[in-house]
Structure 1
């Protein structure tokens, strides 16, 4: 908020106050200075006069010493710098000198009775000199002088002028300090009093500006009860009365600014007095360019001013003018306007001007022209155009309607358009059409109608609702086109395309259409399945994405061939499947033209099955070869396994027959060997039968809750008998107390344990050791058979469970090699009990066989 009045009053006060204080200060200073100077001069003259007077007495009494003492006393107390006495202008007697004087300073130039002057001594000292003549100024020391002196003389008294100046300077400083302090205190007090008195002036000034701008709702706060407070109260009362009786200027300005039509106020003499924003924006003028100009500046040049003048005359006669006119813009364009004029009068009824409100009619004129052109276009349109009212009755149709339906326009007007229906559509179709258009939406579709002669025709129809000014549907516009022949051709074409597409899609052979760049334009499902993708994924891919890089050179040669000959012969290659493996295929292709572009049509046959058949044939042949080899090896092994014991049995029998006189003990030994070898043959035959029955699935496993420690103890006792013959120690340990129950076949479990323990005995050297351990963790039991025998080579471990596989290396020196059926039988028995058998072995350090079986879980009582 600006405080210009406050500042002005403060400035005026300070000027007056400063001048008053300055004047008083100057007067006080000059008065004091003059008084001090006058006192200084009086004191000097009085001092000189007093010395001259006193000198008579002292010299009359010849009291030189007293006079000298007087002079020195005066010099010390009265700031006297020097007292000089002269008998003549050239005879000097220095009575007192407190400063150094030169000859030039001592010369006497004045010879008047009294004098006073300011002098600058040779040493630069400023003094005030006071002189006084005496009749008998001095007497010489009569004791020392015999001659008489002149009865006349002079006395000069030098006072310190600089001391006086210092006192004057001190006076100036004190005076200025007192004046400044007085100004500050007075100004502060005046400012405070002025602010307290004028604090309402600021809000009152701001409120006055608001009122000037048309805001009558402003209220000035009243915070005092003096004359300014009464002024604020009066101002508030005035604004309240004005607000009750006056329309706000802002309110009027807002109305004028918000007008979308142009408003130009013209004075009675035709000069433009006011223009709103809409008029300036439309005409392209700035406000200052139009104000004061005659209204004819906005009229086209071809329109005479007389017409506007006559209109103004009618308006001024209180006749309201309304009609069309034309405004000319700043750049010369003519704009058609719809004009409305009204006379403006003051309170006394005098005409103050004319208000011209005009609306831009450009779009309206353009719309009229477009409607005219559209009407002509609709009349001459090849398509049928029909306009109906809201109930569907025909109000207008173009000439094409007669050609389409066979009805003349005279017959059609007033008829319901739905009378053309041929009954080819169900009620739901008709209801949907009607619901769509009455809800304000556009309906498009095909309709089968009946002509006047009874024949059917198909038309494409678009029905659009038309709204009135109340946004309610008043009419419908229907545009129709006869598509009967096109529909017949389309049906034939669609049938042909569907037939071809069906052949294409259902073909078991992959079919694909490529452009000359290798992009796949179309393909059937068989082709997409060939590469492990959906048809939508294949479309857009390229030949090169589906083909390994190794076929690039071949593909270029094929492209050269087909571009030259129009086709390529069958050839084989591979496609890349989605999962990465290669798919063998056989291709054949032709070059075709479609829509003026060249494409390559390919038939692709997946030859995976053929290749698999070929591979299967090769594999079968290889398998047959291996089976023949296995059979030969098997027969050789069986022949060896059977022939060896049988040969021994035969030999032992022949020896027994020839040895008639041998002791009974030898016969017994021979018969035991025969029995042992017979057991071997029987064991081999039993193993072969077990393998055969396991392959055919005829072995029955009778699973019952079986106490495993009992079976294992029986096998341990039997094994210990065999082990003792080779001096091998067999130990049975158990970490868990019995019972350990498994759900198994006790006979097959005995067979399983005997195979494992027997193998351990057979491949452990004499004096060796075998440990059988039984352990359980609550869910399964683990039987471990560990020996310190010859072990199994690492390369043979993966094959020990294969049938007829025998480890030959470094075993022949220990025991006869087995048949290669024991461990496979053991593995089959363990797996039949849902268990496992595993082997860990280190050559020359021993073998550990682990059998793991699940424990029996008793059923919980219901």
Structure 2
């Protein structure tokens, strides 16, 4: 059946509730649709008639019916009730019955149909025939046999009483002489009351005048009249009636009585009115009548237009009449229009078409047109009448409906539609994926095919009571898939009401939450486990925090011994004995129970003891595998560790130390520079294999503390020696330089004993040489500080032109001596900022400009330019007109103490300026390089990150935020940061993303355990944390199988390239420096959420 017809809810409602039978066929006579009244009328069920020829409902003697149907299809003129004579229908049992029929031609988007409205008039025909017969008898005998007439009238009255029609008999003056029971009920009176009432008092004065005027037209030759009236009083108000009035005349032809028979045709009139209204809205479905009317000649000259068409065209009627339609069409449309006109014939006089146009107010517009040719008697086309209407809204609605259907089909949630009784009428693909039932299997069934047996009948009773009362039902429900597996879904069922406000359908939207429910249960269990782990971590953190606050190894051992004992943890820690020959481990610290047992049974004191390598195979495994070992039973290990002790003593030691048969043990290696330097052993009844991670963190902290304390002592000695050396060197060099420069300046300034010209020149050479030597001393000290890592760099937004001008001012006197022109950018550069250390940037610019001036010939030029790079960096170029360099020289130019061409050049220096510049640029996260050709001069360049104006750098406007469409599922982020301000900044940034769940922790140890338990989608890790630092935390995260796959972003104020390289090598997704660049941070988070990170 045509989709547009089926989707027309108004039509379907009228079709189903019509008191008349309605049958819709195609042009070949195949039955497509049958309403309930037609089923009842012919004795068939609808499914028995669908696709059958309509001739099965017509007696065989009407052999011309197919021909008549074909003629109607060729010339579909609407036929109304009463135009067909002596028509009969054929019931399934073979019974013929009288019918009246109206025919309509339906035109839809993709087919042409015929609608037949059928009324069973068997009873009415019998009544009319009987009345006719009785009236004839009355007329023949009225003057002859009054008695017989009376009997006939009585019989007539009896018949009338049994009829359902409205019947009354009255005289021309309005006196009522008879009414049947149905008529009396209509006016809510008894028949006896009617005899006293004048007919004209029952109706309005206007209606009375019309009826009086009409009965005067009744004659013996034309005794019958029919009409339709709209009631205006009482219960009749607003109801329509069809009346047939038959006059009774005397021998002289005088009207003596009128007999009226009526039917309540309100339903039919309502249907016709509804159809009429429906036709206005859905003309393309019901018939070809539309809103616009145009008449035109075969050459397309307009002869008539209506006002609707005139308004639609935006032109007056006079302006349109006389113009040709074809002149307003494109060449392609003209060709198509002429073809359609050429096909019009008297037997095929109609064609339809749709047009897309731009209306007079420049809006897109769709129109549909039905053109009917008007032919003369000779079959010549004289004129064409066209009916059209705008269907723009219909087309837009169709487009919107297609989009909505596509959205429902593509929905990730399962959607199911049922009728009021719960019969499934539609499901989307997500339903099939969720339940395993294909659409064909689900449609026609009820949702109880998904019942799991997990809910009682009260549950389902409440569900149905809720939705059938018109309320939305939302809950969680356990259902069963086709394969028998259970799943949990979150379901929302919404009632859908029809135009009468009655619930006709239910729509259920389902989301599979099985995984979420399982995760919630796991999370609940994990929370309990986490609390236990947290308590353990807290205890160990208290110990670790105290261990890491001291740099004295002996003090660390004492803290371990005291604090772990206070925490009630059974343990011992042992390290390599650096002086031992065949002894491997030396006792360092032991828990209270173990220590007491050792003192009592083995004579072990707090000074410790050693264990031979062969007696501690676990240690050998730790050295080889470099990972913790877990044992469910500690006794066999202890027995191998103490072979020289009697078995009784070993077991007593174990018993006193709390090492029972069921006690578990973890052996954890202690690392220093990737080498195992010792072991941490913990044991107890509550020790589980999952605790390895927690104790590994603690073991790492203990080892780091020991290692740091030892290295600190070594570093202190080395740094002190280096500092003393640099101090001595500075002192030893500066002391004689003080005398040299001081006395040379006194000699130059002396007025008492003025110097000769030659002496003054020589003295000036001494002063200049001294100053040069002093600058070389400063450069050497700078290089020493850089190599020692003691030179502090403070990156900040620096205005580039300001730094360049300062450097230019300092180098200008040297350039003026050689008549060298220095050209720096003159365009406005106040808003050009780079991220650098202001003082060190000026030093680099000064070194590059100074070198350029030194190696440029007399009268040459040094040019400074800028160039933006695609990677967000700015390149600063310093170009000279010197001699240039060979490729071999370029390779060595940035090495310390390299003075290229020193043997042939008079330029002073020791070759440290470019080397220091390179180190400084790299410390500022930049690059430095050179391009040169012999004889063509050189261009030295520096690349540093571009940044914003300081104010823009610190303040991000809301409107500058650019959020993209992201996946809707929850994305969890664990941020390990001890600075509350930094955490609050990230929290506020991420509030723009409702799907992000942000977790926070201030300590790396607890953060690692949270990561193991909750498996976040991303970890943001600060470098500087209390206790374990970010680097060690990163190592633990990437070495643990539970967390190694979780992406980690490092966040730190340390922009040291070597540190960044080390962390990226460990597996960091990115390294973000402080202050945080919000735009870059947002882009990185969005890429991670979409699983697309470079």
TM-score grouping bracket, smaller chain normalisation: under 0.3
Give the greater-gyration-radius structure (CA): 1
Q: Could you state the TM-score of these two structures normalised by the residue count of structure 2?
A: 0.21
